[in-house]
């Protein structure tokens, strides 16, 4: 069993119908898939790898090695249940970015521009596969027309762990938001997705972009597309790079199942609640690593 790998360029040719079907199946059965030939220049991706590695070594590694997690592991705690073996910095349009690594800001700005365009293309494919008007998901996330959706990028590194049996790189969770686009390490694995009760490796595939669906896609699709549980294992070898970009609703956006999809699933008695995304996030930050169904129930009640 392997996470689907889909050639995104085939949407533009005779294989469009089959490729749409592959993406629909991946969204329904996995909530995870890898895109190749996605249109992001390889030269840009190579620069992203370079500046990310240099950034970690120049600006992050020393502090991580002095961190509380390292200290606790060294004191031979049985396990760190409430911690992740992860160094992370978040890039937004309006926050302060690291400035000591040559080329980092320029490269990551260009990368984010390309990833946002890819996210919008992926959402349009989801619209088409779900039978929704073109732009439906984007409009829901942007709270109407305009550019109000959240687009953030997490630059993470999972350094070698002296005791991988004691701490996860990142604990199991589903993502709160919409569409997540991950540029993961070419060589160092560790990402796993839960499929039919089994943890399946998301194999490193050079210059692929891993797509996964978040909780809000599950709600908008009225459960046709489920958000998938995933985690990152820590390892004694290698420093795993992971750059995840999140296309999420505006905090003010109202999220609800698309009316067309409520009709389709009425006979199953399956309906998700309507809520303001900011209210959902207030619940999520408290319950990220817990089952997701109570989160939906909590916002239903507010």
Please give the chain's pLDDT, 302 residues, in tens.
899 999 999 999 899 999 999 999 999 999 999 999 999 999 999 999 999 999 999 999 888 887 766 666 666 566 777 788 889 999 999 999 999 999 999 999 999 999 999 999 999 999 999 999 999 999 999 998 888 999 999 999 998 887 787 888 899 999 999 999 999 999 999 999 999 999 999 999 999 999 999 999 999 999 999 999 999 998 888 889 999 999 999 999 999 999 989 876 665 556 799 999 999 999 999 999 999 989 998 987 55
Distance of CA 300 to the CA centre of its chain: 24
Contact status, residue 190 vs residue 234, Cβ threshold 8 Å:
yes
Give the global pTM. Answer: 0.93
pLDDT at 77: 61
Distance (Å, whole) CA 196 – CA 193: 10
**Residue where the block lists tokens 């040719």:** 13
């Amino acid at each position: 069993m392997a996470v689907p790998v889909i050639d995104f360029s085939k949407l533009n040719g005779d294989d469009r119908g089959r490729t749409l079907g592959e993406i629909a199946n991946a969204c329904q059965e996995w909530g995870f898939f890898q895109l190749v030939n996605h249109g992001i220049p390889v030269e840009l991706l190579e620069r992203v790898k370079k500046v990310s590695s240099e950034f970690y070594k120049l600006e992050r590694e020393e502090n991580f090695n002095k961190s509380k997690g390292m200290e606790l592991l060294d004191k031979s705690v049985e396990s760190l249940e409430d911690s992740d073996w992860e160094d992370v910095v978040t890039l937004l349009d309006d926050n302060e970015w690291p400035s000591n690594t040559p080329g980092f800001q320029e490269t990551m700005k260009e990368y984010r521009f390309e990833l946002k365009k890819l996210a919008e293309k992926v959402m349009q494919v989801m619209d088409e596969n779900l039978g929704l008007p073109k732009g439906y998901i984007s409009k829901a996330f942007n709270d109407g027309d305009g550019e109000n959706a959240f687009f953030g990028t997490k630059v993470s590194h999972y350094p070698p762990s002296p005791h991988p049996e004691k701490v996860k790189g990142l604990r199991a969770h589903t993502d709160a938001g919409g569409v997540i686009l991950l540029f993961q390490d070419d060589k160092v694995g560790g990402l796993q997705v839960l499929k039919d009760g089994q943890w399946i490796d998301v194999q490193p595939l050079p210059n692929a972009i891993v797509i996964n669906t978040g909780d809000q896609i599950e709600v908008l699709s009225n459960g046709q597309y489920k958000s998938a549980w995933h985690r990152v294992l820590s390892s004694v070898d290698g420093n795993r790079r992971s750059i995840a970009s999140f296309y999420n609703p505006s905090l003010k956006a109202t999220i609800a199942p698309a009316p067309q999809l409520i009709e389709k699933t009425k006979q199953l008695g399956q309906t998700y609640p309507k809520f303001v995304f900011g209210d959902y996030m207030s619940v999520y930050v408290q319950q990220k690593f817990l089952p997701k169904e109570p989160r939906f129930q909590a916002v239903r009640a507010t």
